[in-house]
């Protein structure tokens, strides 16, 4: 039975994928049932596949296997998160039990702590350090040839200026009425203008990258279809 199914999927699987791909492409002509069917299939299969993966990768080895080991320590360590997970299910029913918030509190607390630590020490500080670039070409002579020093220097200028000006663009506070305040306001205004252009280039790059990514997907799908068709 299993072999038969595997053989069927092996033989007709590409055609099934071909048909589903065309059904998804049919959305180019407008919303239609074929697209909806393919969409629903995708969602259902993705969810089912995720459940299977979670069962095999998480529940079996980390819950069932540990409880089946009959080791009190392992069982104890397993039941606590299991109970917390069961309480989490109560949230789905809108239960007003405060105890159901316990797993969420634990998740958010631990998750925030871990994420915050990672964000600070993995993104914020390193990124700030990354913008503290030297604009002195001599500092790059070790890594670059003298004729190529302009590249890291120019890159450093762009990074520094782009970062500062982009941050100034989101500075919504104006300068005061004092002389210094007016000067500050002027600087912020100019910097924000430059930062606006950096943002525009960034958005353009994002858009171009997204287009490039989707074109790659199109190419892959068309290549698949052509392969199925024998090209």
Partner 1 sequence: MIHCPRCGAANPDDGKLCSVCGQPLPAPTAGRMKCPRCGAENDSGAVFCDECGARLTSASPIPESEPTQRVPIKGLSLPKKQTGGLAPSSLPDASGDIPEEVPPWLQKLLLTYGLVKPEEEEEPLSLQDRVAEPGREPEPAPLAEAKPEDLLAVPREPGEKPVPVEPEELEEPEFADWLQALRSEGEGWEQEAEEAKETEEIAPPLAEVEVSDWLRSLREPEAKVAAEPSDATGLELEEEELPDWLRDLGESGAEAEEIPPLVEELPLAEEEELPDWLRDLGEPGAEAGEIPSLVEEPPPAEIPVDEEELPVVEVPPAVEFPESPVASVANGEELPEWLAELRGGEFEEETIVSPVETTPAPEVPTFAEPEGEEMPEEDEEIEIPEWLQEIKGMEPVLTEDVPGEEAAPPDWLTQPTMPDVTIEEGEVRVPDWLQGPVPADSEVTIEDKDTAPPDWLQEMGAPVLPPTEIEEEPAAESPSRLEEPQPSTEVPVGEKVPPFTSEGLEEFAEIPESRAPEGPPVLEEPLAPPEEPVAGAEEAEGLARADIPDWLLALRPRESGEETVGEQEIAELSGPLAGIKGVLSVEPIISLPHLTRPKAVAVEAPPISGDLFAEIVAQPPVSTVAVPRRARARFVVGVQRVLIYLLLLAAVVVPILIGPIYGPADAKELQAGAESFYAFLRELPADSVVVVAFDYNPATAAELSLQARAIVDHLMRRGVRIMAISLYPEGAALAGDVLYELAEEWGYIYGQDHIHLGYLPNQPASVRRFLDVGPAGEGQSDYRDGQPVSQSAIAQGVNDLSSVSLVVELAGDESTLRTWVEQITARTGVPVVAGVSAATAPYVQPYLDSGQLQALLVGLPGAAEYEAQAGRKGKAIDSLGSQVAAQAVIVLLILLGNLVHLVTRGGEK
Contact residues for partner 1 (CB under 8 A)?
A: 28-29, 46, 49-50, 53-54, 56-58, 60-62, 65-66, 110-111, 114-115, 117-123, 126-127, 129-130, 159, 202, 205-206, 209-223, 226, 231
Question: DSSP letters along 82-133, please?
Answer: HHHHHHHHHHHTT---GGGHHHHHHHHHHHHHHHHHHHIIIIIHHHHHHH--
Which one, 119 or 180, has the nearer CB to partner 1? 119
Toward partner 1, which CB reaches closer, 36 or 214? 214
CB nearer to partner 1: give 66 or 169.
66
Return d(Cα 228, Cα 91) in angstroms, integer: 46
Largest CA distance in the chain: 85
CB 195 within 8 A of CB 162: yes
Q: Are 160 and 194 in contact (CB under 8 A)?
A: no
Q: How far is the CB of 49 from partner 1 (least distance, A)?
A: 6
Q: How far apart are CA 131 and CA 58, in angstroms?
A: 41
Q: Which is nearer to partner 1, 97 or 110 (CB)?
A: 110
DSSP 93: T
Neighbours of 92 (CB within 10 A): 8
Separation in Å, CA 61 to CA 9, 56, 69, 153? 29, 7, 11, 53
* Least distance CB 169 / partner 1 (angstroms): 17
Which residue number, 54 or 167, has a Cβ lying nearer to partner 1?
Answer: 54
For partner 1, the closer of residues 118 and 181 by Cβ is 118
């Amino acid at each position: 039975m299993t072999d038969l199914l595997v053989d069927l999927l092996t033989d007709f699987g590409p055609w099934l994928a071909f048909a589903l791909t065309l059904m998804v492409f049919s959305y180019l002509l407008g919303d239609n049932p074929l697209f909806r069917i393919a969409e629903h299939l995708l969602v259902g299969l993705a969810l089912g596949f995720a459940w299977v993966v979670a069962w095999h990768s998480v529940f079996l080895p980390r819950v069932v296997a540990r409880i089946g080991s009959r080791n009190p320590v392992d069982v104890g360590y397993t039941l606590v998160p299991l109970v917390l997970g069961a309480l989490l299910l109560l949230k789905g029913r809108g239960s007003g039990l405060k105890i159901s918030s316990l797993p969420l509190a634990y998740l958010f607390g631990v998750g925030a702590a871990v994420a915050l630590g990672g964000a600070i020490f993995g993104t914020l500080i390193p990124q700030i350090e990354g913008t503290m670039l030297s604009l002195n070409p001599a500092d790059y002579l070790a890594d670059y040839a003298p004729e190529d020093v302009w590249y890291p220097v120019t890159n450093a200028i762009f990074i520094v200026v782009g970062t500062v000006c982009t941050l100034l663009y989101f500075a919504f506070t104006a300068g005061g009425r004092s002389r210094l305040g007016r000067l500050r306001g002027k600087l912020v205004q100019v910097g924000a203008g430059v930062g606006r252009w950096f943002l525009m280039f960034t958005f353009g790059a994002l858009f171009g990258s997204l287009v490039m990514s989707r074109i790659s997907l199109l190419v892959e799908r068309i290549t698949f279809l052509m392969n199925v068709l024998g090209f």
